[in-house]
Structure 1
Amino acid sequence: MNRLLILTIASEVFLLLSFLIIFLSTRRTKKSIFLIPLLIVGGSPLLYLAVDHMNSHYVDANIGLGLAFMFTWIYSAIAFVVAIVLMVKRKRKNNI
């Protein structure tokens, strides 16, 4: 399997996992619907540039692809930190 494909899938799974934890730690209200556009905003640049890189073979380095990976990883890390904070906050609220 291509290394780029493995990294892309792992990055998108980590992003999806972060948003899934956020969704499960919040109450299922109409505000949870706003998580879907945030997930799309976080994952679409990487998917677009990874598919573009696989279809067209560039001679030089694809800086945009590296920036898309960095954006997705930072976005995933921020979402994961928010998910952990929400989970801890919910757990403390349930214990009191």
Structure 2
Amino acid sequence: MNLNTILLITLMILVIPFIIYFKNTDKKGKMPFIFACFIYLIIASPVIYGVINHKIVQYEDADIGLGLSFFTTWFLTICAFLISIYFLIKERSK
């Protein structure tokens, strides 16, 4: 699979917890949206940096930084999913 395809799939899956968060919060306005976008950029930044670095610098052997950046982003995505599920359960129990 192409690296750009994997990056796109990763970033699209990363959006899902934020959609769940927005659907289950009762706070409306710009501040929760700005906060969620800021957190999204923080979580997505390791993998975006890793892919850009991989495209610019051509390594002769395996690029461990690229793998670690994907691992870090997927770990943070799982954490975001768990937090969004917590908000979902909290909202449904009311």
State if a TM-score over 0.5 links the two structures.
Answer: yes
User: Could you give the per-residue CA deviations for residues 64-92 of structure 1, whole angstroms, max 9, x where no partner exists?
Assistant: 11111011001000101111111111111
Distance 1:20 1:44 in 2: 19
Task: State the Cα distance separating 1:30 from its structure 2 match.
Answer: 5.6
Task: State the Cα distance separating 1:38 from its structure 2 match.
Answer: 0.8
Match runs of 1:1-96 below 5 Å: 2=2, 4-27=3-26, 28-29=28-29, 31-32=31-32, 33-93=34-94
Unpaired segments of 5 or more residues in structure 2?
none
SS of corresponding position for 2:93: helix
Residues matched between the structures, number? 92
TM-score by length of 1: 0.83
TM-score by length of 2: 0.84
Unpaired segments of 5 or more residues in structure 1?
none
Give the letter aligned to residue 6 of structure 1. Answer: T
Runs of 4+ in structure 1 over 4 Å off: none
Q: Percent identity between the aligned chains?
A: 34
